Amino acid sequence: MTPSETGRFFLPGPTEVHPDVLAAQTRPMIGHRGRAIEELLARIASGLAVVFQTRCPVIVSASAASGLMEAAIRNGVHTGPVLALVNGAFSSRFASIARACGREVDVWEVEWGQIHDLDGLAERLRDRRYEAVTVTHSESSTGALQDLEGIASVVAEHPDTLLLVDSVTGIGAVEVRPDDWGIDFILTGSQKALALPPGLAFAVPSEAMMERAATIPDRGWYFDLVKLVESLEKNQTPATPAVSLLYALDAQLERILEEGIEARWERHRRMQALTVEWAEGTGLGVFAVPEGRSPTVTCVNHPEPKRVVSAMAERGWTIGGGYGKIQDRTFRIGHMGDHTVDGLKALLAELDEVVA
Ligand SMILES: *Cc1c(COP(=O)(O)O)cnc(C)c1O
């Protein structure tokens, strides 16, 4: 990709990666045991603590984010029941993963584009004792944003119930305070809001999550949180880490910290406001309910989304198609990662001509 072509890639993941971050991956290889990697992992750990606003360890795994969704279930749930809050494709995947791991799952599904109400959650948690609640913070298939702080405060009334959160298009771009809010496991992938190449996943386990994991004998090997955290404390990893991706992460953390995490949240809020204003101004409208919309992905109503996506491609711009069962009536704009308000304005000006 030539530099002139950057700033035109607005998929809701993978997202555009800055050329300096891509270039960092070409550094020479180092062994995965010894001083050099330990220094790299230590530096990364201190940056991640700021990005994820936590004093808990931040696990870095060489996997897709879905790997850590599986880790959430295998380390956080004995047999169930799990209460899965479903409002789109990715939250539905969380429920499927729990079932695929042999756990009992109660699905509480609301319409795509909606979010779950806190009174309903409180009622369900009173009616049945759940080992865990799964939730997708920012549902990338619809652009809906759950009230994570509110959900966490309801789940906190039940100390035996863990809150397991897929925040793949949330954390790093949207304000989240895992320790203060009482989230037991929150995970993301490298290729979304963090604007890194795909291939790494991250998670913050609470103390309660670690205590639960220790009581589950068949939690597996690759995603065993106890083993992962023990290694992390020595700045090591149980298996070979994705060294080149760690170089990219190291470079990107420096860029994120230079901007500041709160400034990053604010930039995403501004990009969201601009996109929503544009979508409403055109008369097309936004798919997700007004009270819960994601700062990272906007799902726009349109009768011919495939035409829009390909017309934009012909002009040299990439946006996302609709996802799953709403693919024929929506397209998606991923305004996350390192995109800027000005860059987004240029995209929307182009889109204006295409949707007209
Ligand atoms: C992209 C995405 C995932 C899946 O990430 P993988 O890295 O492909 O496993 C899960 N949840 C949400 C909300 C996502 O946006």
What SS3 string covers 261-307?
HHHHHHHHHHHHHHHHHHHHHCCCCECCCCCCECCCEEEEECCCHHH
Counting from 1 in the atom list of ligand 1, the atom nearest the Cα of 198 is 7
| Boundaries of domain holding 219 | 19-257
- In the reported structure, the alpha carbon of residue 189 is separated from the centroid of ligand 1 by a whole-number distance in angstroms of 7
Which residues are within 8 A (CB) of 134 and not within 5 positions of it... i.e. 6 or more apart?
72, 73, 82, 83, 84, 85, 91, 94, 95, 98, 164, 165, 166
Which of 69, 199, 70, 89 lies closest to 144, judged by CA?
89
- In the reported structure, the alpha carbon of residue 190 is separated from the centroid of ligand 1 by a whole-number distance in angstroms of 10
Residues 74 and 40 both lie in one domain: yes
In a domain, 1, yes or no: no
Strand ordering across the sheet containing 318-321: 9-10, 318-321, 330-334, 297-301
- In the reported structure, the alpha carbon of residue 109 is separated from the centroid of ligand 1 by a whole-number distance in angstroms of 19
Residue type, 317: W
Residues 238 and 278 both lie in one domain: no
The last residue of one of the domains, among 231, 257, 283, is: 257
In a domain, 112, yes or no: yes
Residues 218 and 296 both lie in one domain: no
Counting from 1 in the atom list of ligand 1, the atom nearest the Cα of 136 is 13
Instruction: Find how far residue 241's CA is from the centre of its chain.
Output: 21
Residues 253 and 282 both lie in one domain: no
Other beta carbons within 10 angstroms of residue 314's beta carbon come to: 8
Residues 125 and 158 both lie in one domain: yes
Which of 344, 192, 177 lies closest to 262, judged by CA?
177
CA distance 22 to 86: 35
pLDDT score, position 6: 84
The last residue of one of the domains, among 241, 257, 273, is: 257
Residue type, 309: V
Write out pLDDT tens, residues 48-84: 999 999 999 999 999 999 999 999 999 999 999 999 9
Please calculate the CA angle 76-79-84 and round it to the nearest 5 degrees: 65
Write out pLDDT tens, residues 156-174: 999 999 999 999 999 999 9
> Is-contact 86 113, C-beta < 8 A?
no
Q: How many residues does the chain have?
A: 356
pLDDT score, position 356: 84
In a domain, 330, yes or no: yes
> Is-contact 83 124, C-beta < 8 A?
yes
Counting from 1 in the atom list of ligand 1, the atom nearest the Cα of 90 is 11
> Is-contact 288 142, C-beta < 8 A?
yes
Query: Which residue's CA lies nearest to atom 15 of ligand 1?
Result: 140
> Is-contact 165 148, C-beta < 8 A?
yes
Residues 110 and 179 both lie in one domain: yes
pLDDT score, position 322: 97
In a domain, 336, yes or no: yes
The last residue of one of the domains, among 198, 227, 257, is: 257
Ligand 1 neighbours, Cβ below 6 Å, are 13, 64-66, 90, 136, 140, 166, 168-169, 189, 192
Residues 96 and 137 both lie in one domain: yes
List C-alpha distances in Å: 120 to 38, 86, 347: 46, 13, 39
In a domain, 3, yes or no: no
Query: Which residue's CA lies nearest to atom 2 of ligand 1?
Result: 168
- In the reported structure, the alpha carbon of residue 280 is separated from the centroid of ligand 1 by a whole-number distance in angstroms of 27
**Which of 166, 176, 245 has most ligand 1 atoms within 8 Å of its beta carbon, as the pocket-test mutant?**
166
Which of 303, 268, 266 lies closest to 283, judged by CA?
303
> How many domains in the chain?
2
pLDDT score, position 246: 98
For residue 302, what is the domain's CATH number? 3.90.1150.10
CA distance 173 to 341: 14
For residue 134, what is the domain's CATH number? 3.40.640.10
- In the reported structure, the alpha carbon of residue 14 is separated from the centroid of ligand 1 by a whole-number distance in angstroms of 10
In a domain, 154, yes or no: yes
CA distance 188 to 49: 14
Residues 205 and 289 both lie in one domain: no
SS3 131: coil
In a domain, 2, yes or no: no
Residue ranges of the chain with per-residue pLDDT less than 50: 1-4
Residues 127 and 248 both lie in one domain: yes
List C-alpha distances in Å: 89 to 85, 95, 111: 11, 10, 11
SS3 61: strand
- In the reported structure, the alpha carbon of residue 9 is separated from the centroid of ligand 1 by a whole-number distance in angstroms of 18
Please calculate the CA angle 69-142-7 and round it to the nearest 5 degrees: 90
Joined together, the tokens standing for residue 187 give: 């995970």
DSSP 28: P
Residues 301 and 241 both lie in one domain: no
Query: Which residue's CA lies nearest to atom 14 of ligand 1?
Result: 168
pLDDT score, position 222: 98
Which of 216, 238, 188 lies closest to 54, judged by CA?
188
DSSP 165: E
- In the reported structure, the alpha carbon of residue 170 is separated from the centroid of ligand 1 by a whole-number distance in angstroms of 11
Residues 130 and 174 both lie in one domain: yes
In a domain, 205, yes or no: yes
- Dihedral of CA atoms 260, 261, 263, 264 in degrees, nearest 10, equals 120
Residues 246 and 298 both lie in one domain: no
pLDDT score, position 1: 41
